[in-house]
Amino acid sequence: MGQQSKTHQDSRTDPYAVTKALSHMAVYLVAIVAILSSVVPVIYVWIGGFRSGVDINSNPGGLPNPWIIDNYSRVLSSERFWGSLSSSVIIGASTTLGVVVLGLMAAFVIARYSFKGRQALYALFTAGLMFPLTVASLPLNILVRNIGLHGTHLGVILPQIAFALPVTVIILVPFLRAIPDELEEAAAIDGTTRIGFFWRILLPLSMPGLVTVGVLAFIGSWNAYLLPLLVMAAGGMPQDSWTLPLGATQFATQYSQDTGSVLAYTAISMVPALVFFLIAEKQIVGGLAGAVKG
Amino acid sequence: MSTSTQAGPALVAGPASSKSKRKDSNLRKWAEIIIFVGPALVVFVTFVIVPVIQAAYYSLYRWNGVASLNNISCSSPERVRGTSCFNGLDNYIQAFTDPDFIQAIGNNFFILIASILIQGPLAILVALLLNRKMRGRGFIRAAIFVPYVLAEAIAALSWSLLLSPRGAINSWITAIGLPAPSDGALGDPSIALWVMFGILTWKYLGFAVLIMLAGLQSVPEELHEAAAIDGAGWWKTQWHITLPLLGPTIRIWVFLSMIGSLQLFDMVWVTTSGGPLNSTNTMAVYMLKNGQTAPGYGSAIAVILFAISLTVALVYQRFAMRRDLEGAITRGVR
């Protein structure tokens, strides 16, 4: 209505006025429904963590009565949670570093060297996209066991790097190609070697691409379940060093009678990912959208 | 050597360079290539290519995964009981004659089709409605993206707590006077797969909306204005102008969604392990349940899973994504 008076139009000259008002309402209705259905389950888990077992059993769908922080303080003071968290951080950071370094080096050669077999090399890496980890998981597990990496961090990190390389190379090669040859020639005239060019010019210029592939690799590693299940759980690693998703599901199985603690453990396990998302929302959203667009 | 090191390859090609210099720089180039690609290639071949080939190879054996592989045929009288043996395509025959596995394939395709028919239109609708300047847009986008950010296993854990027989959702259903499923919504074989699909929609709708919104950014505003001048209403504009232009984004989302549906594992493993009565079983869950003690049989399942995914991907690309993908794979290399 305010808009109409501002533009000095009555509803007869603006045929969309009614439709506009309706669509505004529809938009906010959809937005509210979408927000609630996305967030309510998560919030319920967080609130549930503030309840005692007796409270939950007597009224599973209600609010805490009374609110207690025992569950959270117990989880936060357990070695198990911090062990899982640091394990997830170590594996996520190592995977990201490995993918970025190895992927950049390989993409650099594919993008900026001309040599026999370059096409074949590129095709080999892109072919990796066709093989999801699920398909290779059983032989991979046997391989990891045979080379003595069962039950170690490295046994998760190395396969994760390998399976993240195809998408990394596919994103980085066009990125590195797009840097003009003139820049390389100018650098060469100034006496810079190709390696020097790589360090001083290519690396800074390809930062946005590196952030994208790094964020994708980190999220993939942070959320991974199947590989840690095979390498860590079946590999006999102590539960204190399992990654968060694996540790949380194990905690839930082990303490299934103590629903409050399980809710608290689950709730706290969500926090790192949500904090990371809040910090890096732009990179994550941009990275995913960019990766999807190819 | 030292001069060529300083000069760099771009100058060596000049007329002044001698033959030996060129040879030096060629050696140097190959050394650089090997040093730079080597590590990535070794890791990639060892942990991706080799296991994939091994999966195909192991799938021909009956094997417990620990003892060494024997090439004696399983039907041969010389075979010692309890050792590994070569049984050709028997693992595949066993898989396709197991009703549990057939049901798992069916469940994967149920999720695949339901995702495309229900999640897709829902995501497009939400994206279209949110694709405008409005208060709190950033907040809305972040909120609907929350489920996607959570690890699938953690999300699964949350839902199995909410949906447990004595969980919150059952008590809410009872509170509004409806009969609650006594084993929890995921414990009732007649509805479990739909409930699973609901959880997956909750988890992945935000991602679909996000990439649809990204796709909508590339639809020029002028087209909407032109359509409005021509007297087209909002729905008409979306239907005739926005949707066709959103085509490439929708087709890529469908592709990702199909592959994800066929590989579905974490969510099912943590919530139901495929139960009750196999009603939520998937190929990957079946593979892990049967494959840890019998990697030969599990590998056969993996090969079938791969073959189905590849066929779906190729058929889809052939018929739906041909235009979008033209040159996409080879674009990077001149």
- For B66-77, write each residue's pLDDT tens digit: 777 777 888 877
Nearest to B40 among A103, A189, A234 (CB): A103
> B-chain residues within 8 Å CB-CB of A137?
287-288, 302
Size of interface A-B (CB pairs under 8 A): 305
Q: Is the pTM of this model over 0.95?
A: no
Residue A221 is encoded by which pair of tokens?
């590693």
Give the distance from residue B334's alpha carbon to the nearest chain A alpha carbon, in angstroms. Answer: 9
In this structure, what are the phi and psi dihedrals at residue B62, rounded to the nearest 5 degrees? -95, 120
The domain covering A78-293 belongs, at the CATH homologous superfamily level, to MetI-like (1.10.3720.10)
Chain B residue with CA closest to A126: the answer is B329
When comparing pLDDT for A68 and A292, which is higher?
A: A68
Q: pLDDT of A215-256, one tens digit each?
A: 888 888 988 999 999 999 888 888 888 999 999 999 998 888
ipTM of the complex, rounded to two decimals = 0.84
Chain B residue with CA closest to A276: the answer is B149
Q: How many domains does one find in chain B?
A: 2
Is the pLDDT assigned to residue B278 strictly greater than 70? yes
> B-chain residues within 8 Å CB-CB of A184?
10
Residue A111 is encoded by which pair of tokens?
């993008």
Distance CA A8, CA B114 (A): 48
Element (H, E) at B168: helix B168-175
Q: What is the pLDDT of residue B323?
A: 62
Residue B317 is encoded by which pair of tokens?
């690309």
In a domain, B171, yes or no: yes
Q: pLDDT of B91-142, one tens digit each?
A: 999 999 999 999 999 999 999 999 999 999 999 988 888 877 777 777 888 8
Q: How far is CA B122 from CA A115, B204, B236, in A?
A: 49, 11, 18
Residue B250 is encoded by which pair of tokens?
């929708």
Q: What is the pLDDT of residue A2?
A: 42
Chain CA centroid to CA B290, Å: 21
Q: pLDDT of B293-312, one tens digit each?
A: 888 999 999 999 999 998 99
When comparing pLDDT for B22 and A280, which is higher?
A: A280
Interface of A with B in 169-188 (CB under 8 A): 169-170, 173-174, 177, 184-185, 188
Residue closest to A292 by CA, chosen among B199, B118, B259: B259
Say whether A292 and B214 touch across the interface (CB within 8 A).
yes
- For CATH 1.10.3720.10, list the domain ranges present in chain A: 78-293
Q: What is the pLDDT of residue A188?
A: 84
> B-chain residues within 8 Å CB-CB of A57?
166
Nearest to B129 among A26, A42, A130 (CB): A26
Q: What is the pLDDT of residue B329?
A: 44
* A78 touches B at CB < 8 Å: no
In a domain, B83, yes or no: no
Query: Domain of B102: which CATH number?
Result: 1.10.3720.10
In this structure, what are the phi and psi dihedrals at residue B193, rounded to the nearest 5 degrees? -70, -40
Mean pLDDT check: name the lowest of A37-51, A164-178, B47-61, B233-247.
B233-247
Give the distance from residue B95's alpha carbon to the nearest chain A alpha carbon, in angstroms. Answer: 16
One domain for residues B286 and B182: yes
Chain A residue with CA closest to B12: the answer is A188
One domain for residues B214 and B109: yes
Bridge partner residues of B86 (DSSP): B61, B73
In a domain, B236, yes or no: yes
Q: pLDDT of A133-145, one tens digit each?
A: 888 899 999 999 9
In a domain, B75, yes or no: no
One domain for residues B228 and B318: yes
Interface of A with B in 266-285 (CB under 8 A): 266, 269-270, 273-274, 276-278, 281, 284-285
Domain that holds residue B190: 90-325
Bridge partner residues of B85 (DSSP): B62
In a domain, B73, yes or no: no
One domain for residues B166 and B259: yes
